[in-house]
Structure 1
Amino acid sequence: MTARSTCRTTAAHSRPAAVGAIAVVGALLLTGCGDQTKGKNNESGSASSVNAPLADKLPKEIRDKGKILVGSDIAYAPVEFKDSSGTIVGLDPDLAAAMGKQLGVKLEFNNGTFDGLLTGLRSGRYDIAMSAMTDNKNRQEGVDPDTGNKVGEGVDFVDYLTAGVSIYTRKGDTKGITSWSDLCGKKIAVERGTVSEDLAKQEAKKCPSGKKLAIEAFDDDQQSQTRLRSGGVDAASSDFPVAAYAVKTSGGGKDFEIVGDQVEAAPYGIAVAKNDTQLRDALQAAMNAVIKSGEYQKILEKWGAQDGAVKESVVNGGK
C-alpha cells in the first residue's frame, strides 16, 4: 500500500488516562480519507526500483526478490489489523508502504503470534519483524526477561515511534484499579510475550501473601479484550495506542476505560537479524527519508499516534 492522504486529527498518543480515550478518535473519523491499500495480498508498497532513491542500499538478494517478508501479529489495532474487507491496515503497514517506495520493493506482511515473531526471524521465515515491538536490551541480546538467561541470538532494532503501556478495565467497573500496584488480588489479561506480560509478572512478585495477582496470557490482544469484556478478568493491559483504540471502538465506546497513566514509554523498533546489517541500515535510511519528507507525520496523525513521533530513526535505542 502507499501513503495516506493529508487528513489531520487532534488525537493524543502519550497522554495520561484522562485524555487517553480520545487518542484514536482521528482514526475513527478518517474513514472518508480512504485507505490506499490495494487488494488483500498482505503487500505494502508497490514502488519500482527504477524510481526508488534508496534501492541500491538493499542487499542484492532482496532487490532480486522484489519484496521484504514481514512477520507481524496482525491483530493489534490500530498498529496492524485487518479491516472489514480483510485488508491489512494500520500504522505499521502504512509506514512500511512509505518505506517500500523509498527502497523500491514491496513489504509483504505475514501473520504470526507475537511471541513467535523473533523465532521466525531467526529461522529465516521472515526478513524482518514489524509489529509494535518494543526495542529493549533483552530482545537486543536474546535474553529471557523472566530468567535472565540467554535463549537465542538477539536482534537489532530500527526504531520509529515511542509508546508506553496502559491498563484498562470494563467501563464503570474499575475495581479500584488506578495503577499497577492496585492489581494485587485481581486478575489481568495480557498478550503473551509483550511488555505488558513482563510488567504483570514483575508486579506479581511484589504482591503480599494472600493477594496474588493472577495473569492470563493469550496469543493475541483480541483474546485479552474478549476475556475482559466477558468479566473473566478484572483488567487488561496493552500498549497505549492499542488500549486507547479498544476503549474508543469496542461496543461503540461503552465497553472499556483506561485507568491510570501509561508507563514504561519506550521505542517501537523493526527487528532485523544481527548479521543482516545491510538490510538494517537500508531500513533506517528509508525510515529517515519518510520522516524527512513529512509523510511520517501524516501517517501518525491518521492513526492518532503523533505524540509518539521521533525526529529520526536510530538503531537499538531501547534500554
Structure 2
Amino acid sequence: MKKSLLVLAALSAVTAAQAQTTDTLKKIKDSGSVTMGVRESSGSLSYTLGDGKYVGYHVEICENVLRDVRKQLGLSSMTVKYQPVTSQNRIPLVQNGTVDIECGSTTNNATRQKDVAFAVTTFVEEVRIAVKASSGITSIGQLVGKTVATTTGTTSVQTLRKHERANGVDFKEVFGKDHADSFLLLESGRADAFVMDGAILAGNIAKAKVPADFKIVGEVLAVEPIAIMMRKDDPAFKTAVDNSIKAMMKSGDLAKIWDKWFMQPIPPSNTKVGMPPNEATKAAWANPNDKPAESYAKK
C-alpha cells in the first residue's frame, strides 16, 4: 500500500511539474523572466556576434513577441535569457522547460508537431545545395561519388536521398555539429557540397572569407515552413505568440524585419545576403497558418 502511495505521489509530482511547464505565461509572470532558444550559425535567421549577443530575423521577431507578452502580463520589466540550442537538443530543451520559445531555423513538420507546437509560419524555406563555385557541380546527378555535408539533427540529407532526381546517386555523408561546422567542411574541401535550408546556406556564404568562392546550385530539394517553436498543449501562450506575429504581418513590420536581415548589410562583416522573400513566404504572411511541411508537398 505504501509503495502504491509513493508511486502515486511521484506521478502527481511529475504531472504538476508538467502542468506548470505548459503554462508558460504563468511561468513568465511568476519568475519575471523568459528563456529564448537561439542558434549560433543559422544564417540570417539566428546567429551569434559573440559575447552572448544573438541577432537575426527570428531573434528580432521573438524579441518583439516577448515585448508584447510582457505588456499582456502587466510586467514593468522582464529578463530575456538567451540559450544557445543545436539541431539535436532544441526539441528536448523546449519539452523539458529549459527553453520557453525557440527562435532558430526549425522546420514545422507532422512528426515534430507530436512533440511541440509551432507559431504561424514566418518563412517558407527551400532546401538547396551549396558548392564551391569552381567545382563544376550544378545538379544532384553530379554528386555521384562526392562527399555531402549536412548538420547533425537536421533532415536535409534524408530530403536529398528522397528526391526523385537522386535515384541512383551514391554519395558519402559527413556531419557538422552545427551549421558553421558544416559550412567549414565545404570551405576546407572536406566536403564537395553542403545541403541545407537556402537561407542558412546564403547566410554562411555571406560571412565566408571570400563569398564569391561559393554558389547555391541545382534543384529545390524541398519546400519547408520554418517557424518559432513552443511547448505543446499550451494554447494561451501559442495564442499570445501568434497574435503578436500576425500583428507584425498585418502592419508590414515583419517585411521590414526581413528586409533588415536579408536585404541590407548585416553584422559582423556588413555583407548582404541578398535574398528577397519568395512567393510562398509572402503567401504565409498574407494568410497566417501553422500548417506542417507535408501540406507543402508537391501533388
Interval of TM-score (by shorter of Structure 1 and Structure 2): 0.7 to 0.9
2:155 paired with 1:180: no
Instruction: Tell me, in whole angstroms, the C-alpha distance in 1 between the residues paired with 2:25 and 2:215.
Output: 46
Task: Name the structure 2 match of 1:102.
Answer: 68
Contact 1:161–1:269, Cα closer than 8 Å, also in 2:
yes
Tell me the amino acid that sits aligned with residue 234 of structure 1: D
* SS of corresponding position for 1:301: helix
Partner residue in 2 for 1:315: 290
Alignment of 1:1-319 (within 5 A): 59-83=25-49, 87-104=53-70, 105=78, 107-141=80-114, 154-158=115-119, 159-174=121-136, 177-202=137-162, 208=168, 212-304=170-262, 306-307=276-277, 308-309=281-282, 310-319=285-294
TM-score normalised by the chain length of structure 1: 0.70
- C-alpha separation between the residues in 1 aligned to 2:260 and 2:249? 15
One-letter identity of the residue aligned with 1:314: N
Looking at secondary structure, tell me which structure has more helix per residue. Answer: 2
**In structure 2, what is the Cα distance between the partners aligned to 1:58 and 1:293?**
26
Please give the per-residue CA displacement for 1:253-280, whole angstroms capped at 9, x wherever unaligned.
2331111243312211122222222211
Q: Deviations over 1:81-131 (max 9, x none)?
A: 112665211111111112122222554321022111101111221122221
Give the Cα–Cα distance (whole angstroms) in 1 for the partners of residues 172 and 165 of structure 2: 11
Aligned CA-pair RMSD: 2.5
Runs of at least 4 residues of structure 1 off by over 4 A? 203-207
Unaligned 5+ runs, structure 1: 1-56, 142-153
Q: 1:313/1:68 Cα in 2 relative to 1: closer, same or farther (>3 Å)?
A: farther
Q: Structure 2: how far apart are the matches of 1:206 and 1:262?
A: 12
Report the Cα offset of residue 240 of structure 1: 0.9
Aligned-residue offset at 1:205: 11
Size of the aligned set, in residue pairs, is: 247
Range moving further from structure 2, 299-308 or 155-164: 299-308
Q: Percent identity?
A: 23
Relative to the length of structure 2, the TM-score reads: 0.74
Where structure 2 has 5 or more consecutive residues not aligned to the other structure, the ranges are 1-22, 71-77, 263-274, 295-299
Structure 2 distance, partners of 1:190, 1:298, is 30
| Residues 128, 221 of structure 2: 8 Å contact kept | yes
1:140 is displaced (CA, Å) by 1.3
Q: Is the 8 A contact 2:139 2:219 kept in 1?
A: yes
Cα distance in 1 between the residues matched to 2:155 and 2:140? 13
Deviations 1:203-248 (A, max 9, x none): 699654xx63111112101111111111111111221112122333
The structure with more radius of gyration: 2
- In 2, distance between residues paired with 1:127 and 1:225? 29
